[in-house]
Every structure is written in structure tokens, then in C-alpha cells.
Chain A
Amino acid sequence: MNVQHFAAVNVARPYRYHDLGQGAGEIRGSGPGTELITRLNPGDWSSSDKAAAAAAVSSSSGLPSSNLSSSTLSSSNVVAVQRLVQGSTPVTTAVMPVRVPVGVPAPGPVSGPANSISFGPSDFTALSYFTSPALCCQHQQPPPPPPPQPHPSSTRYKMGSMQSDEELATLQKLSSEYEPDVQGPLVGKRQSSQAITAEYANADPAFVRKTRALPQKFSHYRTVKGDGNCGWRAIAFGYFETLLRLGDKNQIAAEEARLKSLNNLLNVAGFQEHLYEDFVEETILLLREVASWVPVTDDGAALLAKFNDSSISNAIITHFRLLTSAWMKTHADAYQPFIPDKTVEQYCATQIEPYQVEIEHVGMNALIDCLIKSAGFAVEILYLDRSAGEEVNTIRFELETSAGEAVFPDAATMRLLYRPGHYDILYKVEDVAELLSAATQVQLVSDLESFSPIRDVPMASTYGQFNPWFAEIPGMSFVPGVPSGLSGLSGLSGLTGYGGLGSLSLMPTSFAPAAEPTVPQPSMTPSALPISPTPTATTPSFRPSKYEYEAEFTPAPPANLPCQTATFRNSHYNPAHFLNSEFQPEMWTPETEIKSESKSPDQIRH
């Protein structure tokens, strides 16, 4: 029997076996050559669940089980703990019972299996990973149930003697042919990170604590398909999206030149040009397209579509895999210490270059060193695990001087959420706002026409008098029908498609949603929009700005375009600015306000 092969499969797809059927069982193995006892509780198990659990056991420990032919794992709530220990230490595999709360619907936009799990009373210290299906890479859709398999009532095995080599070979074959049925898009739509909290609402307290803190700092997230490439794809997507977000055509051109010159690196590492040129070409083509999309008008939808085209997306991550491999081989001294049992060459051949092999920490380091840092970007990886603490642990990767100081302290940052075995993309609210503001700005120009009805309204001496009328404009009540606070976040993601945006968008600052959704912020209610002088408008505006209205100030009506007075012409309340493609409206972000009270007023960029 080829145990090594089993192990290899296990490393390559660590998530595959953890999502097991409902029921209870306990399996003990005390090392090679000894008896493996399997106690199952037949009443609680559907046949597919049994087969799935059996598959997990046989795969993780290299011990045989029958009925492995059911290779699709069922996706309800049992946690498998696997601990593969080398040498003489016993190999332990346990399938643990869990209590499943009844009647908890799967919340959030992730339409997966019931996402709620609580743990049975036990001392499962080995359980460091995988508490809910959501933790596994294949969490987006439950795989279809496998066809019912006959299952022996007794599951008592002895190693070697009872299983013929033929059976083992069959098991081996089934194991190696197993393909997890992962569904969903390669890269998902951006959604509110409240969904993560909801997913974990009933999970282990450590997760509940950490995921609850998550949306306060990171307003949105984006799923990446767990097909063995998620870490690669997340970084690749983040790289292009950051370039798009920054919207600097010169920078994109510089990146194109840099990536082309990195072909030399591939040559040095011994890759043949006619093999890698197709992959490189897709990267270069997409870079050029990204440049052509600046300024962003679609909130990155075109980029998302490109990344969901598997031939483009796969070519790009293959390019990045090859680059990483070449980088590691040419900087072997830096990475060898982190690879205990292989040479860098072997590691690249087995863990970096093969398609569908998930990225590990060393590989992630090399990828970031090679691709991201040199682009002047930084990466933060947030580790969502069961370690102590109130928040996820964050590790920041960026270009540093030899003294350990950041070379670019303000580097654009992409953020990944790491749950054991899987990467997704996270966003802070300002990342989203930057992408959105560019989009809404363009929309404003086209929507200036829709502003015209105001010209027909008899101008009142004070805004207060036509405030009721103002409130009737569709969209003027910001994100209607949703409670304040929390809603700011979820509303934001749908903003570009929001019909009434045009009339609202004259005040782009109002888009900044509440940073701390769990704390209702009265200042974010529609009445606090700077343009709507409800009684609260007599108090100073909610953010400091040198362009603030005087209490009694009445701006010239838009009908007076083009403007007559220099004061108003230079004001950012002058809609004519929106005809200037270079104009960037001032944005309110809670972060900057807190951090830099003193310098915040000068955020207007030209």
C-alpha cells in the first residue's frame, strides 16, 4: 500500500475530509500494524455519511475502510479531527459528535449547508481547525448527495490481513480520483462582512468573538473559490483590483514593464519561454485592460468578470505560480530555512508549480515578495483561528528597510482573510469607497440633467423651506427602509445600481457608511446630510471642513450655471466640478477623521 500517496493527497487538499456526515463515531488507530477499531453508531448514520467518514479515516491514516466509493462528502455537521503524527507517535483520527441546533436557518448570502455548530462536551484539544462547513474551502454549495452505498453493518478492520491488495488498490484509486465538488464563482461578488459573523454565530466562542469584531474594521469581503487555488487567486485578484483602485495608468504601465522583465527570472529558473508565454500574455493583456478601465465606472465588475473566466484567471495564477517558483529558486537561501524536509527545488516542483495545490505560508511569502512588495503594495493577512484574543491576528507584509521600517508607510494594502485551508478577500470601508467614488463621480456627470428639476422649483430664501420637497426626491433619503448603523454597510454594496443615486450624489461624502455598525450613529441618519438643513443643520456639520456652510449661507442655485462668483466657482458644491474628469470629491472616512483631525480638511485631490 502506498501510504505516502495517501498523505500527499491529504496535504494537497486538507479541507476535503473535514466536512463529514451527521452522526457519531470514534475511530482509534495506534500505529501501523495494529488493530484499527471503528465504532459507529449505525442508527445515526445515513449510508453516505458513513462512507464519507470512512473515506476520511482511511485517507488520513492510511488505513483501509470499505465502501470508499462514495467519494462525495456529505456536508452536514460532524467535525473530523485529524492529527497526523510522524514516527512512533500514534496516528489518531476521531470523528466527533456535535450537537446541531435545530431550526437555525443558514443566514447570510452564503447559501451553504446549515452553518451552525456547537461542540459536544469533550476535551478536544486537538481540534484546532474546522468547526463549521464554512471553514472548509467547499463551503459555498453543498455537494449533491452521493448515491446510496451498501454498507457493512460491522466495521471492524484489521490491517493487512483482511484487506487484499486489490481492495487496497481500489481504495487508493478512489482516494486519488476524489475530486471535491466545489461550486460557486471563482471570485465572488463583494458583500457585507456581516455575512461572516452570521456564518459563525453558532460556532465556537473564539470564532464568534473574532468574527463579531471583524465587520467593525472590515466592511466587506469577497469569497474566492476553494478549488486549491484560492490563495493564489485571492492575491492575483487583489493585485489587479488594487491597481484598478489606485487608477494610475503610469503605474499600471510600469507594472506591465516589470512583469515582462520578470520573464528573465523565469528563464534563469529554467522555464521554457514557449511554455510560459501564454500565461504571461494573459497577465499583460489584463493589465492593459485594467488601464483602459481607468477611471472606474463599473465598480470593478469588468475585472470580476475577467477573473471568473477560468482560462484567463487560471493562466494568470499559473503565471504567478511560475514566478513564485522562479523567485524561490533564485532566492533559495531566504526560503530554504522554512522548508525542513525538502530542497527548494523539490518544494517548488511539488507545492508551487502543480495546479490545484494550495499555497502555504512559505509560498505566500515568496509570492508577496516577488509580486506585491515590488509593486509598492502591502498585504495584510488576517488569521481567523481559535487562538486566544478578541480579534483576528493580523500579519502585514510590506517592503521594509534593513532597519525593519516600512518603505512606503502609506502603501495601498490588500487584505486576505485566512481560515485554515482557505483564503478570502477582505476590504476596509475606504477601499470600497475609493472604488465607488470614482464610479459615482462619472455617473454624476451624466446625471446632471436629472438635477434640472430643481431649477424649476422656485428658490426659497432658505433651504429649510423646501426641505420637505427635497426629501421627496427619490434617493434623498439615504438607503431607505433599512435601519441606520448596520445598514450603511449593506447598502453601500448596492450603490452603483441604485436608481436614485444621481440626485443624491452631489454629496458624495454622504456615502461613507458607519464604521462601527454595531453602534448606531445618529449623525449618519439622512437628516444629517449636509445639504438638507433640517433643524440639526444649525449645529456644525458632522465633519470638519473648511468648505462648511455658514449657518445662514445660501448657495447659488444650480440654475445659475455657469457660476458668476469666484467663491462659488471654487467651491466643491459647484456641480460644474463634476464635468472635470480630474476632479475628486472630498470624502469622509471615519478612519482619517480620527487619525488626523488636523490635516483632514485637505483631502481634495486634483
Chain B
Amino acid sequence: MAGSQRRIAKELAEITKDTPEGVTANLVDESDVYRWSILMEGPEDSPYAGGQFKLLLTLPVDYPFKPPALKFETKIYHPNVTNDDKGAMCLGILKSEEWKPSSKISAVLRTARSLLAEPNPDDAVETSIAEQFKNDRKEFERVAKEWVTRYASKRA
């Protein structure tokens, strides 16, 4: 336990010092280092540009030996994010058989954001969106943009 908290605190300090581009990270609750609230801006040159997505990063108690889980609390039209209330993101490095204890949370967040810029339809969780992404890119971008305005516009 203590080991995971120490490691997480270290990574949190690193992220606040050297924030990945377009990402801000905070603890949901200051007393709980295992839940991080992430704000991610849609990358430029992608249908998600201008959107702001809220994510929840949950770290297991035996972190870093088990991978963190990342989910979108803001709805997003994306082949690699489940289109349900869970919003789970399918990220290669977060799979338990690919997770390395030497991976960092900041690397996870960077990979997640690059997945927004470049969806990976071959490893999709939403196969119909993936089909559309491959075959009808225009329509995909239209819907994705529509969802951004509907769910992910910066209201502040």
C-alpha cells in the first residue's frame, strides 16, 4: 500500500511540474491518491478540437503492478471509447498483459491524447464507429464534431 502511494505521489508531482500538452490532472479528492480527475483538450487538427473532455483515472491499490483504468466522463464519439455510460477507453498500454510497472501515468495520458488525434480502428471497441471511420470519414467527423458541441464544449 505504502509503496503504491509513494509512487503515485511521485508521479503526481511530476505531472504538475511537467504537464503533458493539453492535459491537466488533479486529485478528485485530496485524501485519495487513487482517483485522478483529468481534463483533456481535444487535439488540434482532429474532429475533437475545441472540446474539453473530462476523464477519470483510477489507480489500483497494487499500482504500479496493475494498470490504471481510464474512462471518459464526457461523452465522445470515438472508435476506441465505449459508447455507454462507462466510457472506457481501450488503450494498448493499459491492458494487463501489456502493462509495465515502469510505465508512467504521464505516458498514459500522452498516449490517450494521441489516440484522440489518431483513432485506431483496428483495435476498436465500437466497431460500427470504426467502420464508419474507415469507410465514411466525412460522416464520422461530422458526428464527432456534433458530439463535441453537444457534450464537450467549454462552458466556463
User: A408: CB under 8 A from chain B?
Assistant: no
When A318-B101, A318-B102, A322-B102 are in contact, do A310 and B128 touch as well, CB less than 8 Å?
no
**Interfacial chain B residues near A2, Cβ < 8 Å:** 122-123
**Interfacial chain B residues near A396, Cβ < 8 Å:** none
Is A353 a contact partner of B10 (Cβ separation < 8 A)? Answer: no
User: B19: CB under 8 A from chain A?
Assistant: no
Is A310 a contact partner of B62 (Cβ separation < 8 A)? Answer: yes
- A197 to B2, alpha carbons, bound, how many Å? 42
**Interfacial chain B residues near A354, Cβ < 8 Å:** 97-100
User: A593: CB under 8 A from chain B?
Assistant: no
Of A9, A279, A355, most buried by chain B (CB within 10 Å of CB) is: A355
**Interfacial chain A residues near B98, Cβ < 8 Å:** 350, 354
User: B111: CB under 8 A from chain A?
Assistant: no
User: A552: CB under 8 A from chain B?
Assistant: no
Set B3, B66, B96, B124: member contacting A315, Cβ < 8 A: B3
- A478 to B3, alpha carbons, bound, how many Å? 46
When A311-B1, A311-B62 are in contact, do A279 and B97 touch as well, CB less than 8 Å?
no
Interface of A is mostly: helix
User: B6: CB under 8 A from chain A?
Assistant: yes
- A166 to B127, alpha carbons, bound, how many Å? 6
Is B3 a contact partner of A311 (Cβ separation < 8 A)? Answer: yes
CB of A181, distance to nearest CB on chain B (Å): 14
**Interfacial chain A residues near B127, Cβ < 8 Å:** 165-166, 168-169
Please report the total number of B residues contacting A with Cβ < 8 Å: 28
Interface string of B71-113 (1 = CB under 8 A from A): 0000000000000000000000001111111101000000000
- A2 to B124, alpha carbons, bound, how many Å? 9
- A176 to B65, alpha carbons, bound, how many Å? 17
Is B3 a contact partner of A274 (Cβ separation < 8 A)? Answer: no
User: B125: CB under 8 A from chain A?
Assistant: yes
Is B99 a contact partner of A278 (Cβ separation < 8 A)? Answer: no
CB of A532, distance to nearest CB on chain B (Å): 53
Set B64, B66, B97, B104: member contacting A357, Cβ < 8 A: B97
Is B65 a contact partner of A314 (Cβ separation < 8 A)? Answer: yes
Is A355 a contact partner of B99 (Cβ separation < 8 A)? Answer: yes
CB of B51, distance to nearest CB on chain A (Å): 25
CB of B113, distance to nearest CB on chain A (Å): 21
- A12 to B98, alpha carbons, bound, how many Å? 9
Interface string of B117-152 (1 = CB under 8 A from A): 000001111011001000000000000000000000
User: A282: CB under 8 A from chain B?
Assistant: yes
Closest to A167 in B: B127
Closest to B92 in A: A5
- A165 to B128, alpha carbons, bound, how many Å? 8
CB of A426, distance to nearest CB on chain B (Å): 27
User: B14: CB under 8 A from chain A?
Assistant: yes
Interface residues of A in 5-24 (CB under 8 A from B): 5, 8-9, 12-13
User: A118: CB under 8 A from chain B?
Assistant: no
User: B154: CB under 8 A from chain A?
Assistant: no
User: A466: CB under 8 A from chain B?
Assistant: no
Set B6, B123, B131: member contacting A278, Cβ < 8 A: B6
- A554 to B127, alpha carbons, bound, how many Å? 90
User: A271: CB under 8 A from chain B?
Assistant: yes
Set B6, B62, B102: member contacting A353, Cβ < 8 A: B102
Closest to B127 in A: A165
User: A173: CB under 8 A from chain B?
Assistant: yes
Interface string of A268-310 (1 = CB under 8 A from B): 0001001110110010000000000000000000000000001
When A314-B62, A318-B65, A322-B102 are in contact, do A356 and B96 touch as well, CB less than 8 Å?
yes
User: A179: CB under 8 A from chain B?
Assistant: yes
User: B58: CB under 8 A from chain A?
Assistant: no
**Interfacial chain B residues near A315, Cβ < 8 Å:** 3
User: B4: CB under 8 A from chain A?
Assistant: yes
- A349 to B100, alpha carbons, bound, how many Å? 8
Is A353 a contact partner of B100 (Cβ separation < 8 A)? Answer: yes
**Interfacial chain B residues near A179, Cβ < 8 Å:** 96
Interface of B is mostly: loop
- A321 to B99, alpha carbons, bound, how many Å? 13
- A322 to B95, alpha carbons, bound, how many Å? 19
When A2-B122, A169-B124, A278-B3 are in contact, do A12 and B102 touch as well, CB less than 8 Å?
no
Is A356 a contact partner of B97 (Cβ separation < 8 A)? Answer: yes
Interface residues of A in 150-188 (CB under 8 A from B): 165-166, 168-169, 173, 176, 179
**Interfacial chain A residues near B1, Cβ < 8 Å:** 311
Closest to A229 in B: B65
Is B65 a contact partner of A355 (Cβ separation < 8 A)? Answer: yes
CB of B145, distance to nearest CB on chain A (Å): 25
Closest to B131 in A: A165
Set B97, B100, B125: member contacting A12, Cβ < 8 A: B97
**Interfacial chain B residues near A357, Cβ < 8 Å:** 97
Is A311 a contact partner of B95 (Cβ separation < 8 A)? Answer: no
- A279 to B104, alpha carbons, bound, how many Å? 14
- A318 to B127, alpha carbons, bound, how many Å? 36
Closest to B101 in A: A318
Is A279 a contact partner of B101 (Cβ separation < 8 A)? Answer: yes
Is A169 a contact partner of B62 (Cβ separation < 8 A)? Answer: no
Is A271 a contact partner of B97 (Cβ separation < 8 A)? Answer: no
CB of B105, distance to nearest CB on chain A (Å): 11
Closest to A13 in B: B97
Closest to B123 in A: A2
Interface residues of B in 7-41 (CB under 8 A from A): 7, 10, 14
Closest to A312 in B: B3
**Interfacial chain A residues near B64, Cβ < 8 Å:** 318
**Interfacial chain B residues near A278, Cβ < 8 Å:** 3, 6-7
Is A176 a contact partner of B62 (Cβ separation < 8 A)? Answer: no
CB of B84, distance to nearest CB on chain A (Å): 12
**Interfacial chain B residues near A355, Cβ < 8 Å:** 65-66, 96, 99-101
- A165 to B131, alpha carbons, bound, how many Å? 10
**Interfacial chain A residues near B128, Cβ < 8 Å:** 165-166
CB of A129, distance to nearest CB on chain B (Å): 20
Closest to B67 in A: A355
Closest to B14 in A: A274
Interface string of A43-64 (1 = CB under 8 A from B): 0000000000000000000000
- A282 to B62, alpha carbons, bound, how many Å? 15
CB of B119, distance to nearest CB on chain A (Å): 15
- A354 to B95, alpha carbons, bound, how many Å? 10
CB of A229, distance to nearest CB on chain B (Å): 9
10 interchain pairs, CB-CB under 8 A = A168-B127, A228-B97, A278-B6, A311-B62, A318-B101, A353-B101, A354-B97, A354-B100, A355-B65, A356-B96
Q: Ordered nearest first, which 9 A-B pairs have the shortest CB separation?
A: A165-B127, A12-B97, A353-B100, A318-B101, A314-B65, A311-B3, A169-B127, A354-B100, A275-B102
Given contacts A8-B97, A12-B97, 5 further A-B contacts (CB under 8 A): A278-B3, A279-B101, A282-B3, A311-B2, A311-B4
